[in-house]
Structure 1
Amino acid sequence: MALEAENEGPLRRTKWERVVLDEGHLIKSKNTKMFKAASQLDATSRWVLSGTPITNKIDDLAALVSFLRYKPFDDVYWWNRSIGRPLKREEPDGIRIVKALMKDVALRRTKGMRQANGLPMVALPPCTVYSYPITLNSDERAKYDELETAAKRRIQQLLETNSFEKQYATVLEMMMRLRQTCDHLSLCPSHYLRKLLAGPDTQSEVNYSSESVQSLVEILQEAINSGEECAICMDPLKDA
C-alpha cells in the first residue's frame, strides 16, 4: 500500500464503500508512506481493527483518529490543543476528552461478552495454567548466579554514569539472557556470557568504507519510508 502514497494506483482511483484496516496501529506514524496511502483512500466508511490502538503514547491514537476523519480531532491543531498538550500537562480535561472520544468511536470486544441468546460471543476452551517449579542443578545454578551478578554490576555502572536510558536495549537483552539460562544453558551463547562478564565493550571503533555507509543509509531510509518500527521501543523509525 505504501507505493500508493506517491502514485495514482488502482487503490486510490477506486471509490470504496468501506475500508477496514486490520492491525490498524501500523499506521500510527503520520510521517510514513503507509499512513499517507491509507488516508488517501476514497471511502464512504472507515474502520480500524487493533488490539493496541495506543502502543507507547497518546499520539499513536491521533493517527487512527485522523484516518477515521473524526472531526475536529483529525486536525493536528485541534488534537494538540484539546488532547495532546493537556495530557502532557496532566490536565483532567485531556483525559475527559479522550474518554469521550473513545466512547463515541470505539467498539471493544471481550471474551466475556455474550450474544442475545446468552451464548458466548466467541466460544473458547477454559484457560488452565500449570506451574512446575524447577530446581537448577549445581552447574546451572553456578552459571546463572554468575550471569546475574555480572548483570547487576553492569546495570549499576549504567546508573552511575547516567547511561541507563541510552543503554536500555542492553538491559532488556540481559534480562532475556537470564531467562534463557533458566531454560537451558545452551540457549545463552557462551560468547555473550564472556562479553558480559568482561564489563563494558572496549573494542576500537569500526571503520566503514563510504560504500558501506551509503548502503546502510539506503537500507535505513527504506525502513523509514515503509513505516517499520524499532524492535525495542516499537516507535516508528524517523529521520534524524
Structure 2
Amino acid sequence: ERTDDVNELKKYDIVLTTYSTLAVEEPWEDSPVKKMEWLRIILDEAHNIKNANAQQSRVVCKLKASRRWAVTGTPIQNGSFDLYSLMAFLRFEPFSIKSYWQSLIQRPLGQGNKNGLSRLQVLMATISLRRTKEKSLIGLPAKTVETCYVELSPEERQLYDHMEGEAKGVVQNLINSGSLMRNYSTVLSIILRLRQICDDISLCPPELRSFTTSTSIEDVTGRPELLQ
C-alpha cells in the first residue's frame, strides 16, 4: 500500500515498488521514496530504465542510497547507450556523466574505434557479476524438454498461413533492397505476431486482421510501423 509518510517507510526493512509507481511520483518533489536515505536500492529487470529521458528512469536515478544494484539479463537491448542509464543510476563516475559516456564509449563505438569497445569490455568486467546457465543453483532438478504439437483451429490456420506468406514477401523485399538489417525490428515484429497467433488468435488484434487482407506487401515494407 502506498504512503506519503517517510516515517511509515522507515518502519520496514524492505520496501517493494514498481517502475510505473515511481514514474507517477517523478514530478512530486515531496515524494517519500525520494526523501528517504535508503541503505540499498536493487533494480530488478533494470533494463526498464534504458531510456534515460523516461520518467521512471529520471526518478530512479534521483533516489538516494548508500548502495545500488542493477539486476538484468539484458543490459543492452537496443544499443550501447542503454547502458548509460544504468551507469547514471549506479553513479559510477565518470561513465555516469553523459558527456564522458559519449566521448569515451558512445562516439568511439559509432566510429568503429576499437578503444570504445575495449573500454566498454573493461567497464562491464569491473562492475558486473555474470551468472551463466552453467552456474546453476544447487539442488535444482534436471531440466526436461518436451515438444508438444498443438493443432491450430481452421480460423487460426487460415490467418497464420496468410500472415506467414505475406511475411515471407516482406522479408524477401527487405533482402532484395539491401535494407534487412536497417529494418530488423520489423522482422522481429513479424515473428512476434506469428507466435501470438499460435498462442491464441485473440492476441491478434482486429486491425491486424484487416491489414492482412487490405494492405500490400509493398505498403508494409515502406511502413514497418504497421507491424509494431
Q: Report 1:127-206 matches (<5 A).
A: 127-131=143-147, 148-156=164-172, 169=186, 172=188, 174-176=190-192, 178=194, 195-200=211-216
SS in 1 for 2:105: helix
Going from structure 1 to structure 2, the CA distance change for 1:186 and 1:89 (only over 3 Å counts) comes to closer
Q: Which residue of 1 aligns with 2:67?
A: 45
Matched with 2:113 is 91
Per the alignment, do residues 168 and 92 of structure 1 end up closer, same or farther by CA in structure 2, a change over 3 Å counting? closer
Question: How far did residue 39 of structure 1 move?
Answer: 1.5
How far apart are residue 110 of structure 1 and its match?
2.8
1: distance between equivalents of 2:199 and 2:38? 51
Q: Is the 8 A contact 1:19 1:43 kept in 2?
A: yes
CA RMSD between the two structures = 4.1
Task: Report the CA distance between 1:102 and its aligned residue.
Answer: 1.0
- Scaled by the length of structure 2, the TM-score of the pair is 0.65
Q: Does 1:107 align with 2:123?
A: no
Structure number with greater CO (CA < 8 Å, separation at least 6) is: 1
Q: Summarize deviations over 1:174-219 as a string: whole Å, max 9, x none.
A: 4455556778999879996675355429xxxxxxxxxxxxxxxxxx
| Partner SS, residue 74 of structure 2 | coil
Q: Structure 2: which amino acid aligns with 1:123?
A: G
Aligned in 2, Cα 1:104/1:189: closer, same or farther, shift over 3 Å? closer
Alignment coverage as a number of residue pairs: 197
Amino acid at match of 1:71: E
Counterpart in the other structure of 2:140 = 124
Runs of 5+ consecutive residues of structure 2 not aligned to the other structure: 1-21, 218-224
Q: Percent identity?
A: 35
Say if 1:12 and 1:42, in contact at 8 Å, map to a contact too. Answer: yes
Cα 1:159–1:31, aligned 2, differ >3 Å: closer, same or farther? same
1:22 paired residue number: 44
Flag structure 1 segments of 5+ consecutive residues without an equivalent: 114-119, 202-229, 234-240
DSSP-derived class of the 2:93 partner: coil
Instruction: Please state how far the C-alpha of 1:15 moved relative to its aligned partner.
Output: 1.5
What is the CA distance between 1:128 and its match in structure 2? 2.5
Native 8 Å contact 2:162 2:212 kept in 1: no
Is residue 151–residue 196 contact of structure 1 (8 Å, CA) maintained in 2?
no
1:63 aligned partner = 85
Counterpart Cα distance in 1 of 2:105 and 2:192: 36
Structure 2 residue 32 is the aligned partner of structure 1 residue 10: yes
Please identify the structure whose Cα radius of gyration is greater. Answer: 1
Change (3 A) 1:134 1:96: same
